[in-house]
A and B are shown apart, each in its own frame.
Chain A
Amino acid sequence: MKPVIQLGRYIPAHTIIHRLDPRIKFILTMEMITVLCLGKTFLLFALTAVLIIFAAALARISLFSLIQTILPIFGIVSFTVGVNIFFIEGKTVLWQWRFLRISQEGLYFAAFICSRIMLLVTASSLMTFTTAPIELTDGLEYLLRPLNRLGFPAGAFAMTLNIALRFIPILQEETQKIMQAQIARGASFGTGGLFKRAKAFIPIIIPLFISALQRAEDLALAMEARCYHAGKARTRMHPLCCSRSDIHIFTVCNAVFVFLMWMDSRFAY
């Protein structure tokens, strides 16, 4: 298990974007994604890219770390581009070799899909870069609160997310320790047939689960000792508050999104 999951994508700083209420950041991100999904022109993509870079500059996030977020999806992007370039039937054929054919339309469409996916990823990573995990789950809980009436336990749900986020690094370290311990005892993961290789993971998974369940037991005891009750209204260490400047930013951003959609419909062909 070589790549360690980088949950610490949050880059703490004191900027206007970091201070923005997580609920508003969440809604704005969703709106931006909708705009990108509905967009039909390169003009819209270019303007959104400018907007994203402007927001990143405000949040003092380097362009380099924004580009880094695109790297993991490089495989799927290049696959999509490949499929589109070669298999879209177009009128203007630029290059042909047996059944492979590149047309102008295919090239255009591939570039279009590619830029849309890359913008979607950078737009959403902007939120995780500037919002602490606890703020994110708090914001989500608040936004889901109307569902309480339908019987959806928003508070318990946010708590589950927090616990999962807290457990991920701990369990990851545990897995690595168990793996090394078993390797020291002579376990090998890269030999034998398919079935043997999969079976080699049983001596890792059983201890992992047993220690994880023990941790769950301890945590349950600790939480109950501190009088945690699911479903009861709780107070917060840092209550969310939506200031006047947050409302202003929200209004301005919405106006920009409406303008972008108008431009897009105007120049679509």
Chain B
Amino acid sequence: MNTTKKIILAGLFAALSAIGAFIKVPIPVLPFTLQLLFTTLAGLILGGKLGAISVFCYIIIGLLGFPVFTNGGGPAYVLQPTFGYLAGFCAGAFATGKIARAVPNPSLKRLLAATFTGLAIVYALGIAYYWFIYQFYIGSPLGFWTLFLYCFLLAIPGDIVLCIVTAVIGKRLIPIVSYSN
């Protein structure tokens, strides 16, 4: 792949991540967005490095002030407790891509392992950042159980489903992409 194509694909997946934040899966209590699906797919399809670059571009676009995050955008978004998940998407896409594309034709099992590793990284960074912002910026330390409930228990079922769906989609898209290259 030449550099021009790499630049375009990174831009394309950054745009897709922005769109993913606005597609909501209608679930009665907690509707969740497809953001994780698109950022993980960036890793699966583009590979670790380029996938992480594209998610990084998405974050920069949001920080520049374009309202592409779920709650708007702007430099002040760094101070939102949920920003850690966004940073996690970037690191997660890198890990997912590295694991998935280590072999030319990954099996579904490998893809699942890759997406779940990415998920673990997203949550680790997300929860750590949430705790950090509450502890040091907002100044009201959260208890372990509150943190566990808000950052993990309420969101994890939807994201586990998304990981499985992502692996299935990746299995179908990766051959198409490698064919067109």
A residues lining the B interface (CB < 8 Å): 1, 3, 5-7, 9, 29-30, 33, 37, 69, 72-73, 75-76, 80, 83-84, 87-88, 109, 113, 117, 120-121, 123-125, 127-128, 133, 136, 140, 156-157, 159-168, 171-172, 175, 189-190, 194-195, 197-199, 201-202, 204-206, 208-210, 212-213, 215-217, 219-220, 223-224, 228-231
Contact = CB atoms under 8 A, between A and B. Distances in A.
Interface residues of B, number: 61
Given A76-B80, A83-B138, A161 B60 contact: yes
A224 B1 CA distance: 13
A37 B138 CA distance: 11
B167 to A, nearest CB: 12
Interface in B120-163: 138-140, 157-158, 161-162
Given A197-B25, A201-B25, A209-B41, A125 B74 contact: yes
A91 B54 CA distance: 50
B15 interface: yes
A30 B180 contact: no
Interface of B: 3-12, 14-16, 18-19, 22-27, 34, 37, 41, 45, 53-54, 57-58, 60-61, 64-68, 71-72, 74-76, 79-82, 138-140, 157-158, 161-162, 164-165, 168-169, 172-173, 176-177, 180
A160 B13 CA distance: 10
Nearest to A137: B64
Contacts of B72: 69, 72-73, 121
Contacts of B177: 213
Given A121-B72, A160-B10, A202-B169, 13 more contacts: A29-B75, A33-B75, A33-B76, A73-B80, A80-B138, A84-B138, A163-B12, A164-B10, A201-B165, A206-B173, A213-B180, A215-B12, A216-B9
A114 B140 CA distance: 14
A163 B8 contact: yes
A72, A159, A199, A205: which has the most chain B beta carbons within 10 Å?
A205
List of 5 A-B pairs having minimum Cβ-Cβ separation, nearest first: A163-B11, A128-B65, A120-B76, A167-B15, A230-B3
B76 A197 contact: no
Given A69-B72, A198-B161, A206-B173, A219 B65 contact: no
A59 to B, nearest CB: 14
Nearest to A190: B26
B52 to A, nearest CB: 13
B150 to A, nearest CB: 10
Contact of A198 (B45, B68, B158): B158
Nearest to A71: B72
B66 A9 contact: yes
A143 to B, nearest CB: 12
Given A80-B138, A216-B5, A167 B23 contact: no
A197 to B, nearest CB: 6
A164 B15 contact: yes
B81, B140, B161: which has the most chain A beta carbons within 10 Å?
B140
